[in-house]
Each structure stands twice: as C-alpha cells, then as structure tokens.
Structure 1
Amino acid sequence: MRIIPSEISSSTRSRAERSVFAALKAIPDHQSVALHSVHLGRHRTKRVGEIDFVVIAPDILLFIEVKGGRVVQEDGKWYYGPAGHEDGPKESPFAQASGGMHEFERKLGTLIGDLRDLGVPSGYLVITTDIDLDRTTEFEPEQYLGRTAYDGGRGLAQGIERTTRFWLGRNRWGQTPVPSSVRQKMLDAIRPDFDLVPNLQSRLTDLDVAFERLTSEQMDRLDESESNPRLIWTGGAGTGKTFLAAEAARRKSVVGSVLFTCASSTLARHMTRILANDAITVLPFDRLDEVKHRAFDHVIVDEAQDLMTFDSLGVLEELVSGGLEEGRWIFMLDQNNQVLAPDAYSSEAWDYLRPLGSVYGPMKRNCRNTVQIVKQVQLFTGADLGIASAGEGDPARFVYPQDARHEANLLDTYVNELVQQDVSLRDITLLSASGNWEMSSARLSQRASKIQRFTDVVGSERTRHRLTWSSIADFKGHESHVVCLIDLEPEHLEGRLDAIYVAWTRARAQLWISCHPNVRKKLTTLGTAALQRNGGLR
C-alpha cells in the first residue's frame, strides 16, 4: 500500500505506529493510499487533534487509531503508559477514533463537499499492538484489532477487510467502489498538509532503524546453525557479514576461547572495542604471530576473501583446535571481486576450504545500502549486492572538477548542503582513491584543519563532530552514512573494479563521486562492459 509520507519521520517515537506503518506498506494493495499522522488544527473540542492513519480505499475512508504498550480501563476511565506510571484518565481509544473521524469528515466536507452526498462510506479501527482488550459495550469486535489478531502486523490486512465489511453495513447509503475521481479529490485536498519530505538527517535515522531490524532477522540464521562446527557465510558488501561475525564471536565465547581475525588492521581495531570480552582475542592477520603458540576453541575470519591463500590457511590451521578439518570455525567472505589485492586470492585455496564446512549463501538481503546505491554499484561493476532492504535514498551524485582546487570547492559546497540538512559532520567520510593525504584535494578544503584521519581515531573514543578522511583500503569493512569519493584518477580504474566496489558500498545513504578529467569516459566504459557481461546489451 502506498503511504504518504513515504518514510516515517524520526520524530515518531511510538513503536506501535512504526509497526503499523510498516505493516500497511507491506499490504499488496495498489489502489489504496494511507496517510500517517494527520493533524486536525481546528478540532472543535481539542486544541490539536490527530489521527494516526487515514486510509483512502476504493470501498471506504478508514481511520485508524493506534495504541502501544499498556492500556488500562477502570470504571469507564482509560489510562495509558508503562505499568505503575499510567497517564490519565483520558478518552477511550474508540472515542478518540470516532471523534477524529467525524472532525476529519467535517473538515474534508468543507473542501470537496459533503462526503455522504458523495457516497463515501467511512469508519474507524482501533489497534492495540501489545495487548488484547477485554470486550466491552463501547465497541464491536469488528472495530478492534488486538495483539493476538494483529500478530505483529501479519493480521492487519485481514483486520482491515473485516472492519470494512462491518462499516459498509452501517453505511448502506455508501456507493462502492468510491469513484477514483472522488478519492483523488480527497487526497488532493488534504495531502499538502502532511506530504512533507523529511530532511536528510531524519532519513538517516530511519535507515538506522531499518538496518537494526534487518540484521536482527539475519541473526536467525546463526540460531539455525549453531550446531554446525564449520561454517562459511558468503554475501556481497552490505549483507551484514561483519555484524553476523561479531554476534557469532559473542555466542561462541560463552563456551570457549575465540580468535577473531581479518586482514584489515583498522577493522580489527574497530572490532576490539565491539568485542570487549576476555574470552575473545581480536587481532589483524599480520599480528597472529603474537598468539602462534595458542590453539583457540573457535576461529572467526571476517573478509576472508582477503586471506584466501594456502599460506594464510596454513597459519589459521595452527590456531584452531583440531585444525581446519576438525576444528570449529566460521569464514565470512564476499565472492564479488572485493579484494584490493587480487593476487592475494587463490581459487585453489577456496576449492580446498569449501568442502570442509557448510556453505550458506550468498546472502540476499542487503541491509546497508539504499536501493539507489545498490543499483549504482551493479550498473558499473555487475556485482550482486543482494536485495536492497535498508530503504530508499537519493541517486549517486557525480561531479566533474577540472583540478584538485576545483574538487575541494565542490566538496565544500556539498558538505555545506548536508550541514544545512542537519547532517552531522561525523556521518560524512571522505574516501581517497589515491590514499595519499599529502596529495589529497581534501587538504585544500576550507575545513582541512579540522578533518580527522580515520586511522588516528578508529577504535578509540576520540571521534569528534568532524569530517573523516580515509584511504579506501583502510575503510574496508567499515561504513558511513555519507561517502564522498575524491582523488579519483583514470589510473585507479585500470583493469580492476574492486576499488570502486569497496568505496561505493561503504555508503549507507548518500554517495558523492568526484571524477577528475577522463574518469567519466573510463566509468562509462566500465558500465558498458558490466551491462554486456550481464546480458544488458547485445
């Protein structure tokens, strides 16, 4: 079902409303429109009235009142809030829904004409997402959807169908279906009041909510396979591999010692803070000689494609009890060409490792990148990043400076634009294709003196509200809400796609790409080649 606004505002704190918002959006109904948080500025009995959701459907104009948490009725009075701290007495949710419905009908009638004369049937539905109310004389069962019937949102469509049938029986004068022209008039009349585009910062917050929900779903796969001693998880960038690796390390640490390793020293430093546990040792691969005389109960290898050689597997063989053939381990890897050092990957080593464990994947749910970023990466590289599930965003923005000074000016303009949209500087990362700070255009930025180097602050508490600068290699395995790719020259694209694959997939919401002269032509060539490989061109 279409919802206006299309993204729930970060100001909506109610988990119940967020749940109903998501459930409405999931209903496969292309004719109805739901409107969230409709304000009634001139409610006749209240200073400000509000209807949680209004659904303009072919058969009914439906008003939905949502209550989350605890709801208590005592002697005809209603109280809402945490146990022991209920607020009230207040109107019943049914009185609220009925009052909001009639006030809305009056307001809409002044804009497009009396709804009854237009044959528009209406009704309301009360939803309590967390409890089941006892039946009272105040409402009929068809007017209410409790926790059991709501079922986490799965029962919402059926509940709407049931209440629609009930209200059509009460609105026998209604003409169904309501003409599409009348429905459009209703939408046009009220839409300007609340069809507001949230600023970028609120969208970033909403993407955070989606990310946490989706990665929690992926954790179910860990639950299903905890009994398997050797696992290989595969998936493209953004599919939650590092998140799963960290959760696996925490779980395994309950029953034994754990070694968590990866090729990236910056990722290892970051994970050291996340996995602060005496039973977990976090070390980058190039420091494993520090534990060469130990054998761990569990070994977890993140970004394992960077270590897929027989030499690397030999080192890991000695660090896990029972070795690779009999030990307990998890390898997380991206089979897209993500390695920054292609010579470090051996297909023969992969052929050796693969039959030793149970392979799951590739994981199909991309929970980091927006739809637009996933499409951008696929267009130029052909890489499979899975199904974008984190939400909608803006298209990648390309700029074409003539030199480093021009690039710095364009960068400053873009960052100023983000700041005006309430985006924190700490949510913006400058990724340098050259990886050379001394030669980077960032040094010509008006904020140059306040840009912090990622390698200086990763894994520490010293992060401030400042821009962060990093090479692509150092930022591998990490992510940022906004990524600005700078210092990109044609030679960075010669014969390889892995650098832009890694850089572009670090962005969760916004991607800004600066292309020096001749880079545009090279990117066009790469995109055409990717389309040809995937059958897009003949």
Structure 2
Amino acid sequence: MRLSPPQPYNNDSYAELQIFDAFRSVEMSDAICFNSLHLVSHREKKMSEIDFVLVCSKGIFVFEVKGGRVFQKNGKWYSRSNQKSHSIENPFNQARSALFSLVDSLKLEKILSPHVPIGYGVLLPNTVSSGTSVEYDASMLGSKTALKGFSSWLENFIQFWVNKVKAPTTLSSEEITKIANYLRPNSLVSDKLLSSFEHLNALQQQVITAFEYGKRVICDGAAGTGKTLLVEVIAKECVSVDKKLLVLCESKWLKGRLKTRLNRTNVVVATIDSLQVDSRRAFISQYDVVIVDEAQDLYRLDKINLLEQYINGGLEKGKWIFFQDLANQSGFFLSPETEAIEKIKKSSDVSLSLDTAYRYSRTTLNFISGLLGKDKLPTKKVNGPEVELFSADDGDAERKNIETIIYKVLSLGYKHSDITLLSINPFIESVVSQLPKSIRTSVIQVDDFNVRTFPLGGISFSQLEHFKGLENKVVILIDFSKKCLDNTPKAYVAMTRASERLIIAWTSDEQPTDINVSQTTEDSVLDETFETSLVPEWKEVLETTFLEEECETFIAQNLSPPICGYELIVDEMVVSDAELAWPKANLCIFIDDTERKDIEKFKSEGWRCYQTPLTDDELDEISKITSTL
C-alpha cells in the first residue's frame, strides 16, 4: 500500500516508526495509509491528531499507537518504559472519538456512504499482551505478537468491522482518491491504482513521489537496490499514454529486455547509439519524459549533448530521471567525464539514494567488500550460502570444475534456466565452448533478441558487458582471473548478478593467492541444505522479538536460544530490560532506541552489551561467546 507521507515524520515515537514499517510491508491494492493526520474539527478537543488512518476498498479505519509496555490497573491505563510507569489516556476511547470526528467531517463533505465500514483499533508494538476486557474485542488490539504477522492481523481486524455492517459497500478507486485528497490534499496526484507501489520501500517511494511532483531527479543506488524496477514502475504507472517517453540505456541486451517489458505505443526504448534511428522510426523529434537507466555509462559530454537535443525543454526545463551507480560501476565501459556529471547535477532538482540491497545476501556482500574494498550496504537477505571458489591446476581441471559445479547446482533442485555462465570472453573464446557436448547442448547464448524472454529455456551464457542490469538465481563466473580484478567496476558487476548463489571458477593457475579457495570435494558448500530444525525455545523467541533477522543468523549457527525481553533484577527490583539475553554468558542485545543509561545498568552488573544495528564483527563476537553454552 502507499503511505502518506512516504517516510515517517520525525518524531520521538519509536512505536509509531515500528507501525509505519508494518503498514509499509502490507500488500493491499487500492489502499493508502496516513501517518499523523491532524483533525481541526474534533468532537471532544479543539484539535487532535490521529496516529494512523487507513483508507482502502473495504472501508476507513483509525489506529491509536501506544509505546512502552501498556497495561491496565483498576480501570486505568498505564505505559511502562525506562523502568518507569506513567498513566495514559484510554487508547480505545482516543481511537473511537477520533474515528467519529473524522467520519463527521467526511459526511459533511458528502463523500462517505453510510454503508461503508468504519472501525478503530489500538496498536501496542512493545506489549506482548494487555489481557482481555469487556471494553473491547480482541480483534481490535494489535500487540507485539500480532505485529509479527501484521498482514494477517490487519485482514482479521478489517473483517471484524465489515461483519458489523448489514449490507457493506466498498470504496471504488475514485472514491479512495477523493477521500485521500480531502484528508491530505495532493496525497494522491492521480487516480491510478495504489497497488502499483505497494511493494516499494520508503526510499523507492520517495523517488516516485519526487518524479510525480515534476522534479528532475538523480537516483543513485548500488547493484540490487531496485533501480531498474523503478524504471519499469515509473514508465508504466507515472507517465500517461499521451506523453512521449524515452527509456535510455547503454546495453543492447538491457534495451531488449526493457523493450519487451515496456511494450506501449508511447514508449521508445533505445541505447545512446540507436537513439537517432529509433526516434526517427517512431516519428519523434523530442520526448516529453526521459528515463535513463545505468546513467553512469553515459556520462560523456558528446552523449549527454546528443541526449539533450531529444528532451523537450532540454536538461534544465525538461522532465527526466537518471538512475546511476556512480560509486561502483562508473568506468565499466569508459571513464565518466567530470563536465558531463556536473552538467546533469546542475540541471537536477533533487538527488536521492537507495541504500538497501534486495538481490543478494549479507554473505555475498561481505565477500565483495573484502575482495574489492566496496562499502557494505544493508541487505534484506541476511542469511545465504557462502560464495564458492574453485581452483584449477590446468585446463582439464578447469573444465572438470565447471562440469561438477553445474551438476551439483542441478542436484540442489535448480532448473537449467536458473543458471547463468558469465564470462569476460565471447563464447568461442570461453572455456564453456570446450565443455562436453552433453553440457554444451544445454547452454544457450544470450543475445539482444532472446534476452527479451530471459531467463531462457536452458543454461544461459553471456558476456559480462551485455549482462548489466540483468540477474539470475545462480551465476557461475568462468574464465575468471586476476586480470578481471584489475577492472573493479567489471568485477563488481560480475559478482552482483546472482540473487541466490555466486560461484567463481578461477582459470588455471590464476586465482589470487590471498583468497581461501574451495576444492571440488564431497563436502562442498553446494551440498548443504541450509535447513534448520527449530527447537521450541527458538520458535518462541521468533514469535516475539523484533530482531528476527539477527536471530535467523544465530539459528543458522546452531546457537542456544536467548531470553526475549529479559529483565535485570537488582535488590529485588527490575532496573532495566534487554531485547535478547543469554544470562549464562552475561551477554545481551538492545534494540536501537534503548537509552544509554539502561544499557549502563547491565554493564555495571558485568554484562557484555550490544546494540542494534549490529556490525558483522559484533555478530561474530556474539556467535563465538554463545556457541559454548
């Protein structure tokens, strides 16, 4: 779903930030969720603020968020945090009064039918359970446990309120847009389906929002952060069919891929070399909108000047967005010219960055960082198989390695189409052309035509220079030597094409001596299943902790389960609490919003303390200490 604003407001409520992320992860078409919506007209107050308002096809729903450990005592509500309890308003009363004040305003504007379901709920992201009460139904309360399966909880919550209406009616896309723009003007700049953006993260949505508001945007992001995905989303959902759109890139192969995925009459997909011919064939002299993918490959003055001729209004007044990876991939073809980079910067309105990788695991990122010296990105995939390295003493051993790798990958359940052989050489000069016929007949060379239906029906082979912007589940780097590492951008691109497994088959006698190289033995990492049987204690931890990805790392290393929500007791009093703790090792982990004084209380009692986000070194330390328990 879409959120307004696309990023949370800066406030001191960590609980609201948690709920913001929870709503952002929900897949719901025709939906928009507002954070911190102000109500000028309120039944009981001069002015009020609603924490979250959800407008979707099934109705309108209001949510009150309370942080800390919330509980009731003698009919009053309290929240406990930082080892102190303080009284709070009844959150259900707050949510209910806010809902009816909101409904009053919508009815006054005559934009809400009486049969549209409405409802309210309370979200307590730091409370495991607040008990039951006759004052509210259990479906109306979302606790810490519910947050772990928030989409399912939200679905049940909505259905609870829908069931209360005799003949419920749904809201159309147009009605949602009308209500949304009344609640927060210009929150929806068009009536397009909101489902188009439900899978984007906050930074990706920020890029979309900037583009929709007419900004000239430079979007920078490393490999795997979703740049090409945004190219497709913007082209399909943010540019009307009456506007002439140019999608430009350097690679013919990427051009072919995008041309198939953006098959619309108003779209021309071209490389800088084919721009003049493709535009002439489409009878277009200038474009209303221009999207450039892999822009770092085009930063030469002659190329930029040529492109500017085709932009309606030029670079300074035209509508455009450039996607680039200047830090890692510039210099793949030719070194970018400073004058070209500065010309684009000077003409842009805003520069945004994507900082989360989705394609590969932390394991792969660590390998790339160690080998190439690249900065580490956060990644949504924490766990993953080790990068496999295979050495060879001669050409025969090299060919045998590749043959063995392919058979082992297939034995893990991967299909032929999941595998790409990637080389710096053309097919005829590659070792793959010397493989046994039984394997060679399964290999299909990628070209600028069949790339449109990639992945192909068999094992694919591609030269590295043509595979920019593409990926596959398993990538086997072949013909790989020390010389490949001399061109860091090319090595970086090569090692970031795999979404699941990266395997490197070094050429004979060419692997770097300072890298730990795996041999083709029976206990290869390729034989691991990476499945862990969870003990009940770990299952309980995963149901309640917010450090799920860190816990998955610990589980993969067969560590003993910690205590979640551990309370430190001194002189029979609770003086602090930690998110995860191993009391036998006097080791604990705190979430990132924990105050320093609360951590110091553990330290004063001799505990070893860590606070998220954890570095790789810290994860290693924790693993070593707790592995002996």
Please tell me the TM-score bracket, short chain as reference: 0.5 to 0.7
CA distance in 2, matches of 1:457, 1:522: 40
**CA separation of 1:141/1:467 partners in 2, compared to 1, >3 Å: closer, same or farther?**
farther
**C-alpha contact 1:435 1:472 (8 A) present in aligned 2:** no
Distance 1:320 1:153, change over 3 A: farther
Would the alpha carbon gap of residues 417 and 234 (structure 1) be closer, same or farther in structure 2, given more than 3 Å must change? Answer: same
Residue 244 of structure 1 is matched in structure 2 by 230
Which residue in 1 is equivalent to 2:370? 379
Cα pair 1:237 1:385 within 8 Å, conserved: no
1:149 maps to: 142
Output the amino acid matched with 2:206. R
The answer for the alignment partner of 1:220 in structure 2 is 205
Deviation string, structure 1 residues 313-358 (Cα, Å, up to 9, x no partner) = 1011011100001101010000223145453411221122112113
Equivalences for 1:367-516 in 2 at 5 Å? 367-384=358-375, 386-445=377-436, 446-455=438-447, 458-461=450-453, 464-494=456-486, 496-516=487-507
For structure 1, which segment, 385-394 or 301-310, has the greater mean C-alpha deviation from structure 2 after superposition? 385-394
Secondary structure of residue in 2 paired with 1:389:
strand
- Verify the 8 A CA contact 2:432 2:440 in the aligned structure 1: no
Aligned-residue offset at 1:145? 5.0
Alignment partners' CA distance in 2, 1:523 and 1:277 = 51
Map of 1:279 onto structure 2? 266
**Residues 396, 424 of structure 1: CA spacing in aligned structure 2 closer, same or farther, 3 A cutoff?**
same
Q: Identify if the C-alpha distance between structure 1 residues 326 and 449 changes in structure 2 by more than 3 Å, giving closer, same or farther.
A: same
Q: Indicate the structure whose relative CO is greater, using CA pairs within 8 Å and at least 6 residues apart.
A: 1
Give the unaligned 5+ runs of structure 1. Answer: 1-21, 27-82, 84-130, 161-211, 526-535
**Alignment RMSD:** 3.6
Counterpart-to-counterpart distance in 2, 1:323 and 1:485? 41
Displacement, 1:430? 0.5
> Using a 3 Å threshold, how does the CA distance of structure 1 residues 332 and 464 change in structure 2: closer, same or farther?
closer
Where in structure 2 are the equivalents of 1:124-203 lying within 5 Å? 140=132, 145-146=138-139, 149=142, 154=147
- Cα deviation, residue 148, structure 1: 6.2
Instruction: Name the SS of the counterpart of 1:368 in structure 2.
Output: strand
Please give the alpha-carbon distance, in whole angstroms, between the structure 1 residues aligned to 2:317 and 2:513.
48
CA distances 1:178-206 after superposition (whole Å, capped 9, x unpaired): xxxxxxxxxxxxxxxxxxxxxxxxxxxxx
How far off its partner does 1:285 sit?
Answer: 1.6
Contact 2:290 2:321 in 1 (8 A): yes
Cα distance in 2 for partners of 1:430, 1:155 equals 39
3-state SS, counterpart of residue 512 of structure 1: strand
Please say if 1:325 is aligned against 2:316: yes
Change beyond 3 A, Cα 1:340–1:295: same
What SS does structure 2 have at the residue aligned with 1:283?
A: strand
* Structure-2-length-normalised TM-score: 0.50
Q: Is the 8 A contact 2:474 2:502 kept in 1?
A: yes
Q: Check the 8 A contact 2:296/2:324 in 1, yes or no.
A: yes
Q: Give, in whole Å, the separation in 1 of the partners of 2:353 and 2:347.
A: 17
Q: Match for 2:420: what amino acid?
A: T
Alpha-carbon deviation of 1:403? 2.9
Residue aligned with 1:273, SS = helix
- SS of the residue 2:329 aligns to: coil
Q: What does the per-residue CA deviation read over 1:248-270, in whole Å, with 9 as the maximum and x for residues that have no partner?
A: 11212445111001000000000
Identity %: 25
**Contact 2:422/2:477 (8 A) holds in 1:** yes
**2:273 alignment partner, SS class:** helix
In 2: Cα distance, 1:373 partner to 1:269 partner: 28
Counterpart for residue 590 of structure 2:
none
Contact persistence 1:253–1:280 (CA under 8 A): no
Q: 1-side partners of 2:506 and 2:142: how far apart?
A: 54
AA of the residue aligned to 1:477: G
* 1:375 aligned partner, one-letter code: N
Distance 1:439 1:422, change over 3 A: closer
Alpha carbons of 1:156 and 1:468: their partners in 2 closer, same or farther (altered >3 Å)? closer
- The verdict on how the C-alpha distance between 1:424 and 1:297 changes in structure 2, with shifts beyond 3 A counting, is same
Matches of 1:458 and 1:396, distance apart in 2: 29
Contact 2:332 2:490 in 1 (8 A): no
Alignment: residue pair count: 344
Change (3 A) 1:354 1:442: same
Structure 2 equivalent of residue 67 of structure 1: none
The 1:219/1:255 distance shift into structure 2, 3 A limit, reads farther
